[in-house]
């Protein structure tokens, strides 16, 4: 496999990246900034994001902006959408990157388990809220672990089964891909030129397990990823490839290696569960019910 590192020039293009104050999101912002993009860093901690923003190329030229967004909180999502829409400026690409892994049991204000609330539901509301501003595509960051996912739409709060954080993570990442595919289908059915695509980073050295609340899990994640994982920029290349190259809607990008743990961006395998259009439709309807947001009317672009 020939390494892909030649990111196309991105001058004049504007990207919104959630969870970009560290890890894959920050590496994605740095790569895009180095190619001339304008970057909106949408993060829960403005203080951390502003410190991180100073490391993104183009910050000194006014091409990097920080805005507060907590995707687990739908009121924060609504405020972010309203503020960004008030600018009157378009966004070329939305990168739904923010995520949690292995966190202790907690429920969102909507009564939804926190992996599902953060990794899927908040991004569902954010994406549909920003669609009128978008000119190119939505990139949904998922995981190899979506293959273990199974979505219990009647028990999104894990009230009727023992809570298992890594199962909850896999469920949420399956939801991400079901949403990506269903969004792309609905966009095409409307004749829209927008597209939805997915990506995953393989095994990448990040601190995503730092919120687990379990020192053993955190340590294993921290040292394990650094021992066997790719550098952050390598994992982020999959997201950047999905965001900047001419891939078809519904495409899923990940490392090319046989297990998709390491390698350069290539077409990745999705679980057959992602092709379940009945489940995708039910997930969409349940997400609309929980967020109060549905596909808006779109202007021709």
Residue 207: the pLDDT is 53
How much is the pLDDT for 249?
Answer: 98
What distances in angstroms separate CA 41 from CA 113, 239, 255, one per listed residue?
25, 15, 25
* Averaged confidence pLDDT in the chain: 93
Indicate the helix (H) or strand (E) that contains 124: helix 122-130
- Residues forming beta bridges with residue 15, ordered by sequence position: 39, 93
CB atoms inside a 10 Å sphere around CB 297:
7
Rounded CA gap, 94 and 286, in Å?
Answer: 22
Taken in order of first residue, the domains within the chain and their CATH numbers are 14-291 (3.40.50.720)
Is the pLDDT at 2 greater than 90? The verdict is: no
Q: What are the tens digits of pLDDT across the range 32-76?
A: 999 999 999 999 999 999 999 999 999 999 999 999 999 999 999
* Residue 172 three-state SS: helix
Q: Is the pLDDT of residue 217 over 80?
A: no
Order across the sheet with 252-255: list the strands: 64-68, 38-43, 14-18, 91-96, 134-141, 195-199, 252-255, 265-267
What are residue 48's phi and psi, to 5 degrees?
-65, -40
- Whole-prediction pTM: 0.92
Provide the pLDDT for residue 224: 47
Kindly list the catalytic residues: 169
- Tokens linked to 169: 């993570």
Residue-level pLDDT at 229: 73
Distance set, CA 286 to CA 47, 73, 215, 281, 292 (Å): 34, 17, 35, 9, 10
**What's the pLDDT score for residue 223?**
46
Instruction: Give the pLDDT band of residue 206 (cuts 50, 70, 90).
Output: low
Question: What's the burial of 145, exposed, middle or buried (CB within 10 Å: 0-12/13-18/19+)?
Answer: middle
pLDDT for the residue 297: 77
How does pLDDT run across 92-112, given as a tens digit for each residue?
999 999 999 999 999 999 999
**How many Å apart are CA 169 and CA 145, to the nearest integer?**
8
Residues 131-149: tens digit of each pLDDT: 999 999 999 999 999 999 9
Mean pLDDT, rounded, for 217-232: 60
- Residue 219 clears pLDDT 50, i.e. is over it: no
Q: Token pair 């020939």 is at which residue?
A: 2
Residue 205 predicted with pLDDT over 90: no
String of DSSP letters for 181-241: HHHHHHHHHTT-S-EEEEE---SB---GGGGSS-HHHHHHHHHHHHHHSBPHHHHHHHHHH
Residue 46 CB partners (closer than 8 Å, separation 6+): 66, 67, 68
Q: Is residue 222 very low, low, confident or very high in pLDDT (cuts 50, 70, 90)?
A: very low
Choose the weakest-confidence range: 19-23, 36-40, 185-189, 223-227. Answer: 223-227
CA 29 to chain centre: 13
* Rounded-to-integer distance, Cα 270 and Cα 267, Å: 10
Mean pLDDT over 221-234 rounds to 68
Q: pLDDT value at position 287? A: 98
């Amino acid at each position: 496999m020939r390494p892909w590192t030649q990111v196309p020039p991105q001058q004049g293009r504007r990207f919104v990246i959630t969870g970009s104050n560290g890890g894959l999101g920050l590496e994605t912002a740095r790569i895009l900034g180095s190619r001339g993009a304008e970057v909106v860093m949408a993060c829960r901690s403005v203080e951390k994001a502003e410190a991180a923003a100073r490391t993104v190329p183009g910050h000194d030229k006014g091409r990097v902006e920080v805005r507060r967004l907590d995707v687990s909180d739908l009121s924060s999502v609504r405020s972010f959408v309203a503020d960004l829409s008030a600018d009157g400026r378009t966004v070329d690409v939305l990168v739904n990157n923010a995520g949690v892994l292995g966190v202790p049991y907690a429920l969102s204000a909507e009564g939804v388990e926190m992996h599902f609330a953060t990794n899927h539901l908040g991004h569902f509301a954010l994406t549909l809220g920003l669609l009128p501003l978008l000119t190119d595509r939505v990139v949904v960051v998922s995981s190899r672990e979506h293959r273990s996912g199974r979505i219990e739409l009647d028990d999104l709060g894990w009230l009727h089964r023992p809570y298992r954080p890594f199962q909850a993570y896999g469920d949420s990442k399956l939801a991400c891909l079901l949403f990506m595919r269903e969004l792309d289908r609905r966009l095409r059915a409307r004749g829209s030129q927008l597209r939805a695509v997915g990506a995953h980073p393989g095994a990448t050295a990040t601190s995503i397990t730092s919120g687990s609340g379990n020192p053993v899990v955190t340590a294993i994640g921290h040292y394990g990823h650094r021992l066997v994982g790719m550098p952050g920029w390598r994992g982020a290349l999959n997201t950047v490839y999905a965001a900047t190259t001419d891939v078809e809607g519904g495409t899923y990008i990940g490392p090319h290696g046989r297990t998709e743990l390491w390698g350069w961006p290539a077409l990745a395998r999705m679980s057959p569960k992602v092709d379940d259009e009945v489940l995708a439709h039910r997930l969409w309807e349940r997400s609309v019910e929980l967020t109060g947001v549905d596909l808006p009317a779109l202007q021709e672009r």
